[in-house]
Amino acid sequence: MSSLLNSPLALSDILLVLLGGYFCGSIPFGLILAKLGGAGDVRSIGSGNIGATNVLRTGRKGLAAATLLCDILKGTAAVLIFGYFFGRDGGIFAGLGAFLGHLFPVWLNFKGGKGVATYIGVLLGLSWMALIAYAVVWFAVAAATRFSSLAALIACAVTPLVLWWLGLPREAVMFAVMTVLVFIMHRANIQRLLSGTESKIGQKA
C-alpha cells in the first residue's frame, strides 16, 4: 500500500482525483438504462444489483450489453480524463475512485454493482497488456468450467501479479486492493460455487 501512497501528487490533488473518479464511477448506468428502456427498476428483480448481469434478468439483452459497456467505459474515462490533467498517478487514483463509486454510489445509499466491469475499464485505461492477460485467463477458465463468476474472480486474482511483472508496482497494489473488494462483493457467488449451486454460462437461473 505504501507504494501506492508514495505519490508525487499533493494530498489535495489525490483527494480531488479520487472524488472526481468516484462521481464518474457512481453513475448507475444499469438503473438508468433499464428505466429508460422500459424495463423498470432493476433493483426490484433478481439480486437487486445494478450491474449488467442483473439487467440481463429483465430479458433485455441489448440493455444488459449497453450497461456492461457503460460500466466499463466510465472506469476508462476516469483514468484517461484525470490522467490527462494530473499525470499517470492521477489516472491511477481516479481509477480507484471510479471503482469505489461503482461499488458504493452515494445516489443509491451506497448499494452498487459488484465491480468487475468497472475493474476491466480501469485496467483498459492503465495497461492494455494486463487487460489482454485478464481476457485470456477469463476465457480459459470460462471455457473449462462455464462459470462466469469463477472466471472473473481468477482473472482478477491474476491481474495484480501481471501488473507487477510488467513493472507497474503502483498499479499492482491498487488492483490488489480492488481484487479483494471484488471477492468481497462476490461472496454470495463464492458460497454458491462451493455448494455447487452457482449457475453456469448459458444455464437459466
Q: How many other C-beta atoms are found inside a 10 Å radius of the C-beta of residue 152?
A: 24
Residue 205 has pLDDT above 60, yes or no: no
Predicted model pTM: 0.92
Give the C-alpha separation, 32 to 113, whole Å: 13
List the Cα angle 148/124/146 in 5-degree steps: 10
Predicted confidence band at 41 (pLDDT cuts at 50, 70, 90)? confident
Domain residue spans in the chain?
Answer: 2-195
Mean pLDDT of the chain: 92
